[in-house]
Amino acid sequence: EWYFCNQTKMKNIIFWSVIEFMISLLLLDHFSICTPHETSQILKKDCFVLRFGSRRFPERFQKSSKIAASLSNCEKLCISEGEFRCRGYSFRYPKDVLELTSSPNCILTDEDLSYEDKVGLSLALLEEAYTDIYVLTRHGECNQKISNEHSEEDENPFQSLKDINSRCYKGIKNAFKHYAYRDYASVASLNQCYIRCRDSGFCKTFSFRNSRDSYSRNCLLSHRNVHEIKERDLVSTVNNGEGDSNWEVFSVERNSPLCKNYGSFYTKKTSLVTSSNCFNLVGPQSKHYGSTIYGSVHAKDVASCSVLCHQDSRCRSFSFPTVTFRANLENCVLSGVIYSGKPTDFENDYNWNAFEILDVGNKLCSEKGGSHLESKYREDNQAEGRKGCFRRSKYGFSFESEYKLSVRNLNDCFDACKHHKSCQTIAFISKTNYGEPNCILNEKNILELEKDEEEIGKNFAVLYLFSLNCQENMNTDCEMILNRGFGLHDSVLKSSAELKSFEDCSDLCRRDSSCIYFSYKYNEIKFRERNCELSVYDSLGSQDFVPNSNWNVYVQLPKCRNSTKENWKQSNSTDYLDN
C-alpha cells in the first residue's frame, strides 16, 4: 500500500528504479492519497477557505461530481481524491433528504483558483443561491499530518460552522467596496467580517477584502440594505492604484434559521463577539406582529429594553428599532411570545430587530440600570387606568372614522374622546408625519369595531376603550363641548395663550371670573403658536365661529364659574393624568 501523506513513510518506500522514483515524485505533486485516519487529521487544518459565496462552477471547471451530506464531507472527498489533484470544490446546501439523494451537490475541480485575478475568475463563475466555492489555501500543507494534541478549532472557531456562515451572507457586487460606511474592522476571514456586521446592530451590507498580505481595515460595515444602495455608495476597486481589487460587497441573509442561533454559540465559545447573556437577536430586520404585543415603553438602547422585559413577568421577547425615531417615543415593544425558530414569529421590517430574553429570572438581567425605566413603564401602563376612563384594548390596530384629529399626545386624545358626545373608542398612533391625524375617535364599542379594524402595527396604533362610568360622571367636569371643528372669531376674543394641554386651557378660563367660552387647538402647533383662546361674551352666534377642523369650542359650566383660584389645581405637566 502506498502512502504519500507523510514524509517519514515515504523514506521507507522501496524504489525499484530511478524512473519509478521520478514517477513517485511526480505523483506526489499531483495526488493526495491518504488513509482515513490521516484524512481526519487533515480536516483539522484549515486547508480550504470560502472564496466565493453564492457561486458555482461553470461546466468547464467541473472535474468530478459527488453527493455529500455536509460541507466537511465534501471537503474530505476533495482531499482524498486519487484520480486528480483537487484544488477546490463547490458545495450546495441540500434543503432536504430528497434533494440530497437526487443530484450531486459536491463539485470538485482541478483548476487553480488561488491566482489573484479575482475579477476575471468571478466573471467566469455562475450565481446560485445556497452554493459556495472553497479554494485550496496553501500548497502542500494539506499533505502534512497534524498532531492529535493540536486543534485548529481553538484558533479558528469559525471552522466548525462553515455550513452556517455561508448561508448567512451573499455576494452582490465584485471588485467594489463601500464608499461611505459607518464602521470598519480588521478581521482574519470573511466569516469574521460577517460576525462583526451581524452583531453591530445596524449593519445590513458589508465589504470584505480577501488578501493574505494585510488584514488592516479589510471589513467595511454599512447601514444600507441591498435595496437602498445607490451607485454613489460604492466605488470600483479595479485599477485604482491601491492594489486592493480583491474587494467584494455582501448582503446579510436573514431567512435561514441557522443564522438566528449563531450568536449564542459564539457568546460561549469565543470572546470575538461581545453579546449579552440576557438577550439574543432572533429576528434581524423583523418586529413582532401587532396582535402579539401587550405593551411598549421608551428605552434608550437595546440593553435597557431587555431590562424592562426581564422586569415584567409576562415578557419573553421584545422588538427594538435600528433607527432613531422621535424623542421619548415608545420604541421598546414588549411581547409574551416565546421564540420558536419559525419565520412566522415576526413580520419583516428593515427598521427593527426582534430579540428573545435569556436566563429568565436572573436578577442580574433585570437590575442593569433599569430602575428609572421601570418606574416610567409602570406610569405608562397605569395611564390608561387613571381617572378610570380608559382601558387599553389592542396594540397595532386602528380603524376608519370621520372624527380624526392631530393632537400633541395621548392625553389630548383622551380629552377629545371624553368631551365628544358619543365617543366610545379611540385609536392613538404615536408615529405619524407632522400634521397627520394621530387621534381617531369612534362612536362604536370594541365588539362593533372588530370588522372595521385595520392592522397597522408599524404605525404604533393602540386601541383604547372609553369606560361607561366616565360618561356617568361627566357632570364632575367644568366644561362641555359646544362646537366641534370650529374656533372663535377674533372679534369675540378676550385673550389667547400657548399652553401645554387642554386642561391648562380649561383651568385658565376657570380662573378668569369673566370667561364663559374658550376654544382649544388639538393639532400640533408651531413654536410660540397660541392654542388656547378665551371669550367673555354672554352668548355667541353662528357668525362668532370660524370653521377649523383642528379647534373645538367649549362652554364653562355655571357651577364652575367665578370660582376662586384655590379651588382649582393647575398641572405643570403635559400629562393631565398625573393629577
Q: Top-level CATH class of 279-357?
A: alpha beta
Can you give the pLDDT of all 579 residues of the chain as single tens digits? 344 444 444 444 444 444 454 544 444 343 333 333 333 333 334 578 777 777 788 888 999 998 887 788 888 889 888 889 898 999 887 665 556 666 788 999 998 876 545 556 666 788 776 778 888 875 545 643 333 333 333 333 233 333 345 567 888 888 899 988 888 877 767 877 887 787 666 788 999 987 756 667 788 988 888 888 888 889 888 876 655 678 899 998 765 555 543 333 222 222 222 235 678 888 887 888 877 787 888 888 888 888 888 888 778 889 988 766 555 567 888 888 877 666 667 888 777 888 888 766 666 677 644 333 333 333 344 343 334 566 666 666 677 777 788 777 777 777 777 777 677 788 877 666 656 777 888 877 766 666 555 544 434 566 666 654 454 344 346 777 777 778 898 888 888 888 877 878 888 888 887 888 899 887 655 666 788 999 888 777 778 888 887 788 888 876 666 543 333 333 232 333 332
Yes or no: say if 406 and 439 are a contact pair by the CB < 8 Å rule.
Answer: yes
Ramachandran category for residue 441: left, alpha or beta (phi over 0 → left; psi -120 to 50 → alpha): beta
Q: Is the dihedral of CA 262, 267, 268, 270 positive or negative?
A: positive
Rounded to two decimals, the pTM is 0.26
Answer yes or no: same fold for 166-261 and 279-357. Answer: yes
Looking at CATH, the fold of the domain delimited by 386-470 is given as Hepatocyte Growth Factor (3.50.4)
Are 462 and 456 a contacting pair, CB within 8 Å?
no
Q: What three-state secondary structure class fits 44?
A: coil
**Could you name the CATH architecture of 479-560?**
3-Layer(bba) Sandwich (3.50)
Q: Give domain 47-137's CATH superfamily.
A: Hepatocyte Growth Factor (3.50.4.10)
Residue 9: all three cell numbers together: 513513510
3-state secondary structure of 354: strand
pLDDT of 486 reads 84
Phi, psi at residue 231, to the nearest 5°? Answer: -60, -35
Tell me the fold of 166-261. Answer: Hepatocyte Growth Factor (3.50.4)
Cα–Cα distance for residue pair 397/457, rounded to 1 Å: 6
Instruction: Name the residue ranges covered by the structural domains of the chain.
Output: 47-137, 166-261, 279-357, 386-470, 479-560
β-pair partners for 426: 441, 464
Cβ neighbours of residue 503 closer than 8 Å, sequence gap 6 or more: 415, 571, 576, 579
The Cα-based distances of 161 to 38, 261, 341, 395, 492 in angstroms read 22, 12, 19, 39, 77
Q: Apex CA 90: angle with CA 84 and CA 92, to 5°?
A: 135
349: nearest Cα among 326, 373, 325: 325
CB 286 within 8 A of CB 254: yes
